[in-house]
Amino acid sequence: MTIRFIHTSDWQIGKVFRFVDQSTMGLLQEARLKAITRLGELAQQHDVQHVLVAGDVYDKLALSPRSLNQPLERMRKFPQVQWHLMPGNHDYYQPNGLWDQLLHKGLPENVRVHVKPEPDSLEDGRVVLLPAPLHHRRQLNDLTAYMDDVEVDEGVIRIGMAHGSVRGFGRDDRNVTNYIAPDRPERAGLSYLALGDWHGQMKLNDRCWYSGTPETDAFNSSGTGEALLVEIEGRDAVPSVTPLSTGHYNWISLSERITDRDAVDVLAEKLRGLADEPERVLVRLDVEGTLALDDLQYFEDQVVEGVSAAFCYLRVNTDGLFPHASEEDMDRIDRSGFVRSAADELKRLSEESDEETRSIAAEALQRLYIEHMKMQGGTQ
């Protein structure tokens, strides 16, 4: 037989994005719900019978009834698809917790919740799903080990579903929490092992994949969200795995060096050319270099306040950008008197002191420059 399903994970409904304002956070949270609708539409498009959600449906254990029910209502709209949910490390199962609340209230007929490590028969017994739900945020034993001992009839397709870490993400031993053996498919005779926890899509071997989150949620997972379309033609067949685009927002990280006003203009145009729909883009921009105070103000006007308005969000890190006060800058502050004396001292400290003092002095000199330009009508 052939089974076709979508592998997804790490929806993290209810996730809080503390680095953005409330309005933008609302957009990002809504996008995570829209990703569920997109998954349902893709399931219809590809004639998929099942959607496997390999952990972290929710971002945390304590959520409002509305947040708990929003994803269920999205899934309910696709009755021809069976949705399989499993607790992860963010929404791990605990007695009388959120999963029991949902089970006691009653789920849509097309939604199954797997809170026990036990086989579940699908497709009239021709497929068995082997979930490994988390019952604690951190577990030291490999919860997929039980899959080795599950016996099924000859020819039954065995699919595992787990949430945790494998070697290969900068850790060299198994002394990690929620460890999963990457060769579990071979040990347990799995046709496919659907993994969650890693928010970037990754192939470990032909039968073992991380799906990635369907809606990107951090700059260290650049790009848009994805899921996986998996087709298995028989127990021993190598799965056909196809990435599917599901995300709305694109997260981009950039590093740029600027030293004069012309470089600021080039940077502004580069940012404007990043995407046809910049309102769907979040950017983390790291800037380094030196700028005259006048050019630094120009950078603030053109990039920090100007181009940023085009994007959903622009975070500018200027820790590596240092002001350099030219003689023209200093004369604009004042040519003589106690204000000029203070400015000269700040300039000296910004060039000759230790790193912390330099940073404070440079910021103070920049602020002095801006305030005096305002007083003189140079900026409004």
pTM for this prediction: 0.84
Same domain, 219 and 259: no
Q: What is residue 380's predicted lDDT score, i.e. its pLDDT?
A: 42
Same domain, 15 and 99: yes
SS (H, E, C) the chain: CCEEEEEECCCCECCCCCCCCHHHHHHHHHHHHHHHHHHHHHHHHCCCCEEEECCCCECCCCCCHHHHHHHHHHHHCCCCCEEEECCCCCCCCCCCCHHHHHHHHCCCCCEEECCCCCCEEEHHHCEEEEEECCCCCCCCCCCCHHHHHCCCCCCCEEEEEEECECCCCCCCCCCCCCECCCCHHHHHCCCEEEEECCCCCEEEECCEEECCCCCCCCHHHCECCEEEEEEECCCCCCCEEEEEECCCCEEEEEEEEECCHHHHHHHHHHHHCCCCCHHHEEEEEEEEEEEEHHHHHHHHHHHHCCHHHHCCEEEEEEEEEEEECCHHHHHHHCCCHHHHHHHHHHHHHHHHCCHHHHHHHHHHHHHHHHHHHHHCCCCC
Same domain, 314 and 204: no
- pLDDT of residue 334 exceeding 70, the answer is no
pLDDT classification of 13: cutoffs 50, 70, 90: very high
**Count of the separate structural domains present in the chain:** 2
Domain that holds residue 312: 251-375
Same domain, 121 and 218: yes
Q: Is residue 184 part of a domain?
A: yes
Same domain, 86 and 146: yes
pLDDT classification of 289: cutoffs 50, 70, 90: confident
- Which of 101-105, 163-167, 185-189, 224-228 is predicted with the least confidence, judged by mean pLDDT? 163-167
Q: Is residue 104 part of a domain?
A: yes
Q: Is residue 380 part of a domain?
A: no
Q: Is residue 258 part of a domain?
A: yes
> Could you report the per-residue pLDDT of 110-120, keeping only the tens digit for each?
999 999 999 99
Q: What is residue 264's predicted lDDT score, i.e. its pLDDT?
A: 96
pLDDT classification of 168: cutoffs 50, 70, 90: very low
Same domain, 56 and 131: yes
Q: Is residue 349 part of a domain?
A: yes
- pLDDT of residue 1 exceeding 70, the answer is yes
> Could you report the per-residue pLDDT of 249-264, keeping only the tens digit for each?
999 999 999 989 999 9
| CATH number for the domain that contains residue 36 | 3.60.21.10
Same domain, 159 and 22: yes
Same domain, 272 and 234: no
Q: What is residue 372's predicted lDDT score, i.e. its pLDDT?
A: 64
Q: What is residue 376's predicted lDDT score, i.e. its pLDDT?
A: 61
Average pLDDT, the chain: 89
Mean pLDDT of 313-337: 74
